[in-house]
Amino acid sequence: MNTSDYFPEIIQGGMGAGVSNWKLAKSVACHGQLGVVSGTALDSILARRLQLGDLDGSMRRAMSQFPWQDIVQKILDDYFIEGGKEPHMPFKNIPWHELELSAANVGLLLVSNFVEIFLAKEGHDGPVGINYLEKIQLPTLPSLLGAMLAGVTYVLMGGGIPLAIPGTLDSLAKWEPVQLSLHVDNPTDESSYTMHFDPKQWCPGPLPELTRPKFLAVISSDIVAKTMVRKASGYVDGFVVEDHTAGGHNAPPRRSDVQPAPGACPYGAKDVPDIAKIKNLGRPFWLAGSCASPERLKDALAQGAAGIQVGTIFAFCEESGITPELKQQALRKCLEGTPDVCTNMNASPTGYPFKILQLEGTLGDPAVVAARKRVCDLGFLRQFYITDEGKLGYRCTAEPEALFVKKGGKIEKTEGALCLCNGLLGTIGLGQTRKDYVEPAVVTTGEDFAFVEKLVKSDTLTYTAKDAIDYLKS
Ligand SMILES: Cc1cc2nc3c(=O)[nH]c(=O)nc-3n(C[C@H](O)[C@H](O)[C@H](O)COP(=O)(O)O)c2cc1C
Determine contact, residues 171/370, Cβ cutoff 8 Å.
no
Q: What is the mean pLDDT of residues 127-155?
A: 97
From ligand 1's centre to the CA of 25, what distance in Å?
Answer: 14
Is 374 buried (19+), middle (13-18) or exposed (0-12) by CB count in 10 A?
A: middle
Question: Is residue 442 in contact with ligand 1, taking CB distance under 6 Å?
Answer: no
What are the C-alpha distances in Å from 5 to residues 8, 130, 131, 237, 469? 10, 17, 19, 11, 21
* φ, ψ of residue 35 in degrees (nearest 5): -90, 130
Q: List pLDDT tens digits, range 404-414.
A: 999 999 999 99
From ligand 1's centre to the CA of 36, what distance in Å?
Answer: 11
Question: Is residue 137 in contact with ligand 1, taking CB distance under 6 Å?
Answer: no
From ligand 1's centre to the CA of 219, what distance in Å?
Answer: 12
Question: Is residue 14 in contact with ligand 1, taking CB distance under 6 Å?
Answer: yes
Say yes or no to pLDDT of 7 above 90: no
Number of Cβ within a 10 Å radius of residue 401:
16
Question: Is residue 218 in contact with ligand 1, taking CB distance under 6 Å?
Answer: yes
Question: Is residue 409 in contact with ligand 1, taking CB distance under 6 Å?
Answer: no
Model confidence, pTM: 0.96
Q: What per-residue confidence (pLDDT) applies to 2?
A: 46
Sign of dihedral through CA atoms 136, 141, 377, 361?
positive
Among 110, 120, 38, 98, CA closest to 72 = 110
Q: List pLDDT tens digits, range 214-264.
A: 999 999 999 999 999 999 999 999 999 999 999 999 998 886 555 666 666
Q: List pLDDT tens digits, range 404-447.
A: 999 999 999 999 999 999 999 999 999 999 988 999 999 999 99
- What lies within 8 Å, CB to CB, of 206 at 6+ separation is none
Determine contact, residues 115/46, Cβ cutoff 8 Å.
yes
Q: Which residue(s) pair with 181 in the sheet?
A: 194
Q: What per-residue confidence (pLDDT) applies to 289?
A: 97
Domains in the chain: ranges and CATH: 3-250+269-323+451-472 (3.20.20)
Asked if the bond preceding 417 is cis, omega within 30° of 0, the reply is no
Q: What whole-number distance in Å separates Cα of residue 248 and Cα of residue 415?
A: 20
Determine contact, residues 158/218, Cβ cutoff 8 Å.
yes
Q: List pLDDT tens digits, range 277-300.
A: 999 999 999 999 999 999 999 999
What are the C-alpha distances in Å from 266 to residues 160, 258, 352, 416? 19, 10, 13, 17
The helices-and-strands tally (H runs, E runs) of the chain is 18, 16
First to last CA, the chain: 23
Q: What per-residue confidence (pLDDT) applies to 185?
A: 85
* φ, ψ of residue 451 in degrees (nearest 5): -65, -25
Q: HSE (CB half, 13 Å, CA atoms) of 262?
A: 0
What are the C-alpha distances in Å from 34 to residues 14, 286, 320? 10, 12, 15
Q: What per-residue confidence (pLDDT) applies to 6?
A: 66
Of 21-30, 99-108, 186-195, 381-390, give the lowest mean pLDDT range: 186-195
Number of Cβ within a 10 Å radius of residue 325:
12
From ligand 1's centre to the CA of 208, what distance in Å?
Answer: 33
From ligand 1's centre to the CA of 276, what distance in Å?
Answer: 24
- Longest CA–CA span in the chain (Å) reads 63
Q: Which stretches of 213-285 are DSSP H helices?
A: 222-231, 275-280
DSSP conformation letters of 18-59: TTS-HHHHHHHHHTTSEEEEE-TTHHHHHHHHHHTT-TTSHH
**Strand 383-386 relative to strand 392-395: parallel, antiparallel, unpaired?**
antiparallel
Question: Is residue 142 in contact with ligand 1, taking CB distance under 6 Å?
Answer: no
3-class secondary structure, 383? strand
* φ, ψ of residue 242 in degrees (nearest 5): -105, 130
Buried/exposed 161-172: b ≥16 CB within 10 Å, e otherwise? bbbbbbebbbbb
Q: Which residue(s) pair with 194 in the sheet?
A: 181
Provide the percentage of residues in the chain whose pLDDT is more than 90. 88
Q: What per-residue confidence (pLDDT) applies to 248?
A: 95
Question: Is residue 110 in contact with ligand 1, taking CB distance under 6 Å?
Answer: no
